[in-house]
């Protein structure tokens, strides 16, 4: 890997201290960093290099060994006014000086860990100093979500970024795609002959994706109220999972090949018309409830949330993908806060056999085989199918065959940010969102948001904290003896009620 400098804008902020620097440190500890590598923190706070290092490692055990001290020596800092174009000459000068002192080529990664309002400005100011050019090395730009607030703002942001950086230089980071189990979706689908032939409308009844959180909004109420669950979780994280689950096989594992298939998938999603929103999209907001003898506040009672807020903390969607593979197969998505368990998983429901020989057996009322892919926690796969119970007759019972990532004891599963930062260092954009796909995802989401904002008659359901959301969401799922799977903290446990 080429020598390089990682420049983190917003380096004194929470994300840099809690996620980015620790991820780079773990890469260093694992021997993944180039031999010549530096992190330059840039922010408004007036730190010296040493003060920045002390701040990064405050209340941590990073400096317990000589190797940790070696890593600290790679950290440097430059204080600037991020809103002042003139200040960016200091960044250029610092980079040039560090490059000369440490014999590092002008290969730069600019990570924008800053408010979205700065996304258009920082690239322009960097370009003003020539830091976007790649004539002597590479220059890459990493931005965090949100990638716009709707399709219009997403398109505007892309146009602003492309004015100064090429698409191949821009890395839109979605930490969900850095999870090992999300990446394994491609291997599960395209690396196993027992799955790929069945992965279509002929054998699959429906696909369900759940991203449940036990926590509420906490101190993020002010931010969350402007976002809501549809923008915060569905438009980015969950639609990316849908793309990996449903896209056509790419012709290679090249980044463009995979991202091209994702774009085609987003373009094939059947739009939900504004007049259909109440039929296909259910929104909810958690209300106060007693859970395990503790009184849990409702969303409108959280810090920074207006008393009349209509922001959804829960959303469930039903939609279709209009292509040859998935014609008329329903897809279901749900996500919410203050649900009974923290779990993100995919459930593939296979169709029942055409002739129901054993449908009346009391222990085998649900004839649908299920493949459960658990993304977090207790990562793994679970396959449910029917087996005959020993004894006379044909008494059939559902049994399970499971695999857990924890069983790979010799394999160290990297954190999402570790994998994604390493990929941008290598120039691998496979797990990063491309601009046209971001716009296509917003194009699907926008009519739902517009209908909710324009039509006060569309219901916002209250659901008690600690429950699985509004009752209306259960009615989205079609089919006899079919309902949402109830995930628990462990992959193999599934009950109507989970321990909190």
Residues forming the active site: 237
Nearest Cα residue to 39 out of 73, 13, 64: 73
Cβ neighbours of 397 (radius 10 Å): 12
φ, ψ for residue 102, nearest 5 deg: -110, 5
Rounded to an integer, what distance in angstroms lies between the CA atom of residue 227 and that of residue 15? 19
What tokens appear for 120 in the block? 């258009």
Which residue do the tokens 């029917």 mark? 386
Which residue do the tokens 């990073």 mark? 62
φ, ψ for residue 275, nearest 5 deg: -75, -10
Please give the angle made by the CA atoms of 326, 231 and 142, to the nearest 5 degrees.
95
Rounded to an integer, what distance in angstroms lies between the CA atom of residue 369 and that of residue 348? 8
Nearest Cα residue to 400 out of 377, 380, 418, 426: 380
Q: Judge whether 343 and 487 are in contact, CB under 8 Å.
A: yes
Residue 175 CB partners (closer than 8 Å, separation 6+) = 416, 417, 420
């Amino acid at each position: 890997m080429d020598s390089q400098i990682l420049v983190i804008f917003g380096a004194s902020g929470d994300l840099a201290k809690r996620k980015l620097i620790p991820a780079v440190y773990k890469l260093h500890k694992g021997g993944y960093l180039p031999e010549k590598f530096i992190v330059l923190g840039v922010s408004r706070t007036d730190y010296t290099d040493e003060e920045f290092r002390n701040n990064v490692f405050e209340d941590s055990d990073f400096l317990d060994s000589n190797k940790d001290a070696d890593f600290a020596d790679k950290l440097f800092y430059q204080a600037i006014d991020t809103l002042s174009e003139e200040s960016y000459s200091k960044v250029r000068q610092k980079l040039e000086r560090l490059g000369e002192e440490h014999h590092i080529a002008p290969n730069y990664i600019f990570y924008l860990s800053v408010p979205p309002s700065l996304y258009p400005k920082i690239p322009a100011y960097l370009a003003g100093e020539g830091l976007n050019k790649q004539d002597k090395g590479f220059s890459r730009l990493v931005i965090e979500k949100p990638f716009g607030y709707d399709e219009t703002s997403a398109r505007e942001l892309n146009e602003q970024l492309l004015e100064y950086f090429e698409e191949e230089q821009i890395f839109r980071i979605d930490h969900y795609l850095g999870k090992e189990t999300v990446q394994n979706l491609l291997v599960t689908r395209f690396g196993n002959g027992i799955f790929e032939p069945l992965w279509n409308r002929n054998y699959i009844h429906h696909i369900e994706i759940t991203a449940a959180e036990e926590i509420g909004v906490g101190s993020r109420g002010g931010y969350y109220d402007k976002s809501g669950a549809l923008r915060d979780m569905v438009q980015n994280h969950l639609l990316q999972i849908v793309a990996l689950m449903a896209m056509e096989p790419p012709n290679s594992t090249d980044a463009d090949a995979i991202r091209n298939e994702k774009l085609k998938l987003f373009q094939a999603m059947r739009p939900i018309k504004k007049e259909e929103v109440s039929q296909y999209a259910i929104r909810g907001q958690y209300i106060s409830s007693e859970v395990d003898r503790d009184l849990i506040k409702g969303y409108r009672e959280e810090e920074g949330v207006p008393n009349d807020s209509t922001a959804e903390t829960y959303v469930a969607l039903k939609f279709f993908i209009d292509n040859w593979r998935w014609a008329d197969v329903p897809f279901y998505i749900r996500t919410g806060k203050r649900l009974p368990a923290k779990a993100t998983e995919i459930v593939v429901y296979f169709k029942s056999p055409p002739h129901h020989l054993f449908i009346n057996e009391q222990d085998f009322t649900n004839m649908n085989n299920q493949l459960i892919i658990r993304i977090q926690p207790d990562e793994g796969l679970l396959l449910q199918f029917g087996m005959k119970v020993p004894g006379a007759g044909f008494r059939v019972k559902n049994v399970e065959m499971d695999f857990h990532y924890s069983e790979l004891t010799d394999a160290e599963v990297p954190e999402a940010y570790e994998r994604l930062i390493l990929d941008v260092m290598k120039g691998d954009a496979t797990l990063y969102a491309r601009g046209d796909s971001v716009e296509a995802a917003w194009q699907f989401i926008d009519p739902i948001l517009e209908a909710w904002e324009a039509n006060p008659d569309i219901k916002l359901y209250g659901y008690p904290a600690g429950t699985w959301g509004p009752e209306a969401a259960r009615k989205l799922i079609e089919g006899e003896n079919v309902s949402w799977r109830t995930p628990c903290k462990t992959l193999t446990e599934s009950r109507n009620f989970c321990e909190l």
